Amino acid sequence: MTSISHCDGGAVVFVDERYVLGALLGEGAVGCVYAAFDTVLGIEVAVKIMHEIHAKSRAMLDRFSQEASISARMLSPHIVKVLGLAVTRSGAPAIVYEQLEGETLASYIARNGALPLAETQEIIRQVARALGRVHALGFVHRDVKPDNIFITTQPDGHALVKLLDFGVAEAVKPDGTRRQVVGTPEYMAPEILFGSAPLDARVDIYALGVVAFECLTGGTPFKGDRMMDVFQALQHGQRASLSQLRSDISLEMDEWMDCALQPDPYWRFESVKEMSTSLATATTASEARAAISIRTAA
């Protein structure tokens, strides 16, 4: 059988022949995600199949199994639903997810540019609800970023936001230790990059703050010509001011962002619920400021 390391879906056959693969939806370091049809239930699904090369590693198999286990426990309308597990005839494990119609937040921002404040606030509110479930069960996601946030549309026309990919999630340990440094650097809290504090839910709060900044500006908050410059700016919280970048954003939003992106986790929001509630207040202040500016200009 042809290797599936390069996501050649046509070569993949499952042991029970239950799933028929369709289009490739995405590819990552661990595996590929396909649209598929469940011939038993008669529904469209999404199947994440581990690359065969990783299926020979006990550590990778354990991590993949943990991803499925953690995802299955996250019962929330804002988290992608796990429907089951499968195995290919070549021995590669697979996780079966609900199939989502829509696009990632990364794609949405790339297509639309900086988003309106109210829309950003709603996206962050829904992701915060997902993370609230994650944290309540004693886990941290560790890879919150626009690529792992999906926007779909409900039958009533309202947007439904879902958190994806629990591949590097892990349980919070009493001593704050972590398995290893993993994630996407632009969204990683300083304590992950520099080992400056124990790992807990505040790493996800930090990453969600970066996501909010990207929604509002189209880019991440810390920039530099070299990666070392970026790390130094991140470590010291040296970022551009939102209120200087956008005239419709108030100082309250800058204060909110300061709290979300505090280099020292002690000064960050204590929970995603507090973070979301505070954002709603800051959004209201910004909208009031924008309304006054419009009336003055008129």
**Catalytic residue set:** 143
- Give residue for tokens 């396909």: 34
What phi and psi, each to the nearest 5 degrees, are found at residue 83?
Answer: -105, -20
Report which residue type is found at 291. A
Give the Å distances, CA to CA, from 56 to 28, 68, 91. 17, 18, 9
| Dihedral sign from CA coordinates of 226, 243, 111, 211 | positive
Dump the DSSP string for 157-190. S-EEEEE---TT-EEPPTT---S---S-GGG--H
List b or e across 219-232, with b for residues whose CB sees 16 or more CB atoms inside 10 angstroms: ebbbeeeeeeebbe
Q: Which residues pair with 102 in a beta bridge?
A: 152
Q: How many CB atoms lie within 10 A of CB 67?
A: 21
Asked if 33 contacts 47 with a C-beta cutoff of 8 angstroms, the reply is yes
